[in-house]
Amino acid sequence: MLRDMSVQALFMGCLAGFVGVASAFAVVLQGLGAVGATPLQAASGLMALSVAMGLCAIVLSLRTRMPISIAWSTPGAALLVTSGTVEGGFAVAVGAFVVCAVLIIISGVWKPLGRAVAAIPAPLANAMLAGVLLGLCLAPIKAIAFDPLLGLPIAIAWLVVGRINRLFAVPAALLAFVIVMILAVDFPEGTLAGLGSAITPPVAFVVPHFTLAGVMSIALPLFIVTMASQNIPGTAVLRANNYETPPGPLFTATGIFSLLSAPFGGHAVNLAAITAAMCAGEDAHPDPAKRYWAAIFAGIFYVLFGLLAGVVTAFVSLAPSILIEAVAGLALIAAFSGSVVAAFRDENSRESSAVTFLVTASGLTFFGISGAFWGLIAGGLIYYLTHLRTKNGPD
């Protein structure tokens, strides 16, 4: 096994790990904070997710000898931003994380549930995701309006570097954010000492609390977007690179690691798509049988990042919140554009997709349940009525 290790796999694994965390950790912090996490709980959640996805990638890659890349659920974190705090606070959100993890485990071992998720019309799933992402994708514009001197450098870095290499666009925006923080933000006295004290890995155990509103507002939409936007595409990336493995055990493994991270604030981990393509491609190694080391090295990177989550969170907390939202929004523009195209491509489902998108994007809640759930219900009703009418023919 050690003979399969290579410098090429080491480089690609570290690059995949860097892209994975740099492109989305701001979204995770935003999401956890939005559902009521304190700064310590958000840092603990970031730590738990990073360690969980790193260990999961290492275990699965070693066991299968395939480049099984794992990521946190970025669309799920964006969903949390729109869900907002439910009655009962963060403990209810953690209870929803536990329920979501259990559903992911069941989807791996009980095929009917996996088939039920796959049966959700793809246009509606994408429309719901687009509605979830819309608010965050507007944040870069709001950041520029808030303060052009702070917002513009981040947007320009993303734009310029993205024209050269799209893979590095969001890391460039993150670097611009750090530079703006250093040069333009007045830090309170004792900031460096505070960052130094945050080097200890943050751990905050939260006793889960289960409510119907938490399950309907957070758990079910989180499960759907994680499966439809992450796990299922993740298996497709593996198949596209000629790695054939039953998806059920992979889903179960990600559910188990999600369950382990949930009491510490982690919302969900899942199969990766973008970083999976990096680790499973030829750049990781000419020999497909040796590319699994790239995913292992990426997993090691995630674990190390998780141990430093306290420092990262402490530094980010010093910035105006709109700047964090701007970086998160830039990281999600590609996902937003892809989901919009997929949602409205089919003319026959365009109306139902529009309803799903609008209800979800409205951010409204009914009976304490978020718009993402109602958007899927409303759009699904129109979708099936439309297709029933088409099937039966015109009157």
Q: Which two tokens stand for residue 184?
A: 């333009």
Compute the distance between CA of residue 126 and CA of residue 228 in angstroms, rounded to an integer: 8
How far, in Å, are 112, 243, 308 from residue 305 at the CA level? 37, 28, 5
Distances 16 to 9, 70, 367 between C-alpha atoms, Å:
10, 11, 41
Structure tokens at 165: 């290499």
- SS3 annotation, 23-89: CCHHHHHHHHHHCCCCHHHHHHHHHHHHHHHHHHHHHHHHHHCCCCCEEECHHHHHHHHHHCCCCCC
- Which residue positions in the chain have pLDDT lower than 70? 23, 114, 117-118, 185-198, 274, 365-370, 389-395
CA pair distance 382, 299, nearest whole angstrom: 43
Task: List the structure tokens of 325.
Answer: 């939202």
Of 238, 246, 231, give the one whose Cα is nearest residue 288: 238
Q: What is the pLDDT of residue 123?
A: 87
Dihedral in degrees, nearest 10, Cα atoms 49, 50, 51, 54: 120
Q: What are the residues whose beta carbons fall under 8 Å from the beta carbon of 263, sequence distance 6 or more? A: 94, 98, 205, 206, 207, 208
Q: What pLDDT is recorded for position 390?
A: 60
pLDDT of amino acid 65: 92
Nearest Cα to Cα of residue 330 among 61, 71, 136? 136
User: Cα 298 to the chain's mean position, in Å?
Assistant: 16
Confidence at residue 206, expressed as pLDDT on a 0 to 100 scale: 96
Which pLDDT score is estimated for 105? 94
Beta bridge partners of 369: 366
Q: For the chain, how many residues are written? A: 395
- Which residues does 332 contact at the CB level (< 8 Å), separation at least 6? 27, 74, 78, 133, 136, 137
Q: What is the pLDDT of residues 315-352, one digit of tens each?
A: 777 777 788 778 878 877 877 888 888 889 988 889 99
**Predicted confidence (pLDDT) per residue in 220-243, tens digit:** 999 988 887 788 878 877 877 788
